[in-house]
Amino acid sequence: MFDSRVLLLLGVFMLSACAERQGGGDVAAPSVTAAAISDREQRQSSIHTDTRPQILFGDLHVHTTFSPDAFITALPVAGGRGLTPPATACDFARYCSALDFWSINDHAEGVTPQRWQDTKDVVRQCNAVAGDPSNPDMVAFLGWEWSQVNTDPAKHFGHKNVIFLDTDDDKVPTRAIAAPREKLNQAPMGRLAQWMLALGDFENRGYYFGIDTYYREIAETPICARDVDTRELLADCLEVADTPKELFAKLNQWDFDALVIPHGNAWGLNTPPATSFNKQLSSRYHDRRLQTLFEVYSGHGNSEEFRPWTATVVDDTGATHCPQPSDDYLPCCWQAGNIIAQRCAAEGADDVECSARAAQARQNFVDAGISGHLTVPGQQVTDWLNCGQCEDCFAEGMDHRPKTTAQYALAISNFDDPAQPLRFRFGFIGSSDNHGAAPGTGYKEFGRRQFTDGLSPSKERMANNMMRDSREAIARSIPIEQVADVSLNKQRNMERQASFWMTGGLVAVHSEGRNRQAIWSGLTSKNVYATSGDRTLLWFDEISDVGSPKPMGSEITMDRNPVFKVSAVGAFEQLPGCPEHAIQALGQAQLDTLCGGECYNPSDKRKRMKRIEVVRILPQISPQEDVSTLIQDPWKTFQCDPESVICRIEFNDEQFIESGREAVYYVRAIQEASDAINAGGLRCEYDEDGNCVKVNPCYAGPRTAADDDCLAPLEERAWSSPIFVTPAEKPNEHF
């Protein structure tokens, strides 16, 4: 007679063996009615009376559970809502966020040949539903994310989204091209753990049984041969590019219309402290045809603003050390020493001993890179105060990295060819980087646990297992080599990161039409701008040539001082719930499931613009120039009329011709403050000297209530793409 427990385990095993693979899903939402699209267009155009192209809003950074990290964070036990395949993203973009366009960008290391085929099928379904291709309700673009990371700053290049104009098989690559990231290709738990989760959450057992199926599909896909033309590789292998050079080479072999967009650049969760853009500004690692846009804002925060401080310093011998704190910056390595010194003093040790332990803690932290927190056993989020943060930046990400910001990228030059210095010429976009198949989540500030990327385990035990440091808090630091648990979640300080997850931004394009080619033309001409999630309207032009304004993104050679015009209009305030056309199309029950019962639902009232800030950057003309003196932020500031819906200003640069050097100009259009999720970051309490003495984190787990969205005031904004102006008397030096 079999023991009942044996029978139960046998039954569980048989069920798990039959787990089905995740498919791309089926697009359920019908096209948006012509009347609803017409109303959307009229609302946008009624505020501006000239004949300019219309402004369309989209999200070019969207993950589904085809991405390995999204698959795991969607676990119900982790607070996720289950599988959200590519079809979910299409439905969400069409009716929840009411976007005009979006792209799919799953991490390529999880996009097997079969998942790539599923992705293409869903994107084609999404476009087929859209109606007349010359005037669709929405355009879906095809792409992936090349997700490269390295603990060595010299080998870290960061994440880049790859997006294609077309979707037909003969106009897109046969395979996605991944970066080597082994830890995201392996199941984070064994079969026994999966069975135990299934038994504990039997209603969702299929999901847990599917974990092994999901990762086995990746493991059983062979890596493609190296040093072979990408067009000649087998169709059923996983293709890998180690560096941007290899990625660009493969894309150029295909020679399809494509964009490569770096993102998450100043986000310290993945970026080693000493990383800078200097190594990428070379003909080896930069392709000026493909890499023309830069994601300045996402749900990970702001990657715009440069600051002169650094998280580490390098001495004359090449050794890396912890810098001293300054009035506006507390390095986390320094705080590591403070934590150990305080523990040491509490044990009764003398000052000499505690100072020595603090110094060792600071060096251990530096040596551990992004895992420095693990060198302080038993550390908690509150121990670190506001270290690593840019306190005067807008919505900064965790552990800000100034030398990977947009401002730094635009200020540096490569002088390998002194006659023609190489410079980046990025346009700016925003997007969400959402991992729940929810493009454009910033339309309303609600649902922190559903519409941001934070892990949200409902049980304290699960939060401890996934993120928290359960080690004893001892009075000594330990080298990273002696840390036992360096799993992917704990390697990165995910618990602290929970206070920095935001809903994300949008990309706005000035487009001659709603169709695919018109949107693509706006993107490739850089006539685009970023927003922090609100649908602010923004125009920025150089207007000295009467009758022929040069829009944002333009590269101009001039023999006179430039004159600029800016117009900005605040986003619509939102009504609760969903608009009637969405309810009629999907029904309230489906909208509750898909959108949390809240859609983009504009009222007739707009938010007021507060001010326009102008940033001027003077790119280096010699390697010796200090970048911090070349970034003028803000260069000019203009207050908006509180009685007017539209904010219009004009300005010129009277020093341009006299300076004899190139200048880069862009503007920030800033709205009146409104509440946003996690806008307060760590929510510091300050003493009378302005020092952060206590923090109130927004926890991912049950220590912060599930219905607490951690709201704080935020001045939502839009960033124009720059206008690049070169004096006529000098040759154009940018390439």
Q: For residue 4, what pLDDT is reported?
A: 54
Q: Containing H/E element for 542?
A: strand 537-542
- The per-residue pLDDT for 723 is 98
What's the number of domains the chain is made of? 2
- The last residue of one of the domains, among 211, 244, 263, is 263
Closest CA to 97 of 715, 598, 523: 598
Q: For the residues of 393-462, what is the DSSP string, one character each?
A: SSSBPSS--GGGSHHHHHH--B-SSTTS-B----EEEE---BSSS-TTGGGSS--HHHHS-----SSHHH
What distance in Å separates the CA atoms of residue 224 and residue 177, rounded to the nearest whole number?
Answer: 10
The average confidence (pLDDT) of the chain is 91
Distances (CA, A) of 655 to 413, 446, 618, 660: 21, 46, 12, 9
How far apart (Å, rounded) are the C-alpha atoms in residues 285 and 332?
30
238 found inside a domain: yes
**Residue of 718, 713, 723 lying closest to 640 (CA atoms):** 718
CA dihedral 237, 242, 247, 249 (to 10 degrees): -100
CB 514 within 8 A of CB 56: yes
- My answer on whether 496 and 347 are in the same domain is yes
The model's pTM is 0.94
Nearest to 160 by CA among 299, 285, 263, 283: 263
Q: Are residues 312 and 210 in the same domain?
A: no
- Identify the DSSP state of 221: S
Strands 54-59 and 506-511: antiparallel
Task: Output the six-digit token pair for 191.
Answer: 């079969």
- Residue where a domain terminates, one of 263, 287, 322: 263
pLDDT tens across 321-347, in order? 999 999 999 999 999 999 999 999 999
Residue 360 lies in a domain: yes
Shared domain for 109 and 219, answered yes or no, is: yes
Distance CA 318, CA 153 (A): 13
Rounded distance between C-alpha atoms, residue 197 and residue 113, angstroms? 29
- Residue 310 CA to residue 272 CA, distance in Å, equals 11
Q: Which residues of the chain have pLDDT under 50?
A: 1-2, 6-8, 10, 14-16, 731-735
Number of C-alpha atoms within 13 angstroms, CB side, residue 83?
20
Residues 6+ apart with CB under 8 A from 720: 428, 529, 538, 540, 552, 566, 666, 667, 668, 669
Name 320's bridge partners.
314
Last residue of some domain: 263, 293, 321?
A: 263
Do the Cβ atoms of 212 and 191 come closer than 8 Å? Answer: yes
Within-domain flag for 516: no
The whole-number pLDDT of residue 190 equals 73
- 135 and 201 belong to one structural domain: yes
Residues 212 and 148 in one domain: yes
Residue 733 located in a structural domain: no
The CA distance from 685 to 680, in Å, is 11
CA gap 678, 452 in Å, rounded: 10
10 Å CB burial of residue 154 (0-12, 13-18, 19+) is: exposed
Q: List the structure tokens of 310.
A: 């650094």
Other CB atoms closer than 10 Å to residue 260's CB: what's the count?
Answer: 21
Which pLDDT belongs to residue 1?
46
For residue 130, what pLDDT is reported?
97
Q: How far apart are CA 85 and CA 501, in angstroms?
A: 22
Q: How far apart are CA 501 and CA 451, in angstroms?
A: 10
CA atoms within 13 A on the CB side of 283: 8
362-396: b or e for each residue (b if 16 or more CB lie within 10 Å)? bbbbbbbbbbbbbbbbebebebbbbbbbbbebbbb
Rg from Cα positions in the chain = 26
DSSP state of 279: G
Q: Examine the domain organization and report whether 402 and 255 are in the same domain.
A: no
Q: Per-residue DSSP letters for 714-726?
A: E--EEEEPPEEEE
Q: Which two tokens stand for residue 731?
A: 């040759």
Compute the distance between CA of residue 71 and CA of residue 214 in angstroms, rounded to an integer.
9
247 and 122 part of one domain = yes
In-domain check, residue 385: yes
Alpha carbons 443 and 506: distance in angstroms, whole number: 9
| Residue 163 forms part of a structural domain | yes
| Residue 302 counted as domain residue | no
Could you tell me the maximum CA-CA distance found in the chain, to the nearest angstrom? 96
Q: Nearest 5 degrees, angle CA 541-CA 720-CA 630?
A: 95
CA separation for the pair 199, 653 (Å, rounded):
68
Calculate the dihedral angle through the C-alpha atoms of 363, 369, 374, 377, rounding to the nearest 10 degrees: 10
In terms of domains, do 360 and 443 share one?
A: yes
247 with 334, same domain: the answer is no
Note the pLDDT of residue 514: 96
C-alpha span between 332 and 372 (Å, rounded) = 8
Of the candidates 215, 216, 220, 205, which has an alpha carbon nearest to the alpha carbon of residue 14? 205
259 lies in the same domain as 311: no
CA distances (Å), origin 526, targets 411, 466, 519, 723: 18, 41, 11, 10
Please check whether residues 413 and 499 belong to one and the same domain. yes
Dist. CA 689–CA 692, nearest whole Å = 9
If we measure between CA atoms, which residue out of 170, 128, 123, 168 comes closest to residue 142?
123
| CA gap 171, 124 in Å, rounded | 13
Tell me, yes or no, whether 609 lies in a domain.
Answer: no
Same-domain status, 382 and 488: yes
Q: Which domain holds residue 27?
A: 15-32+76-263
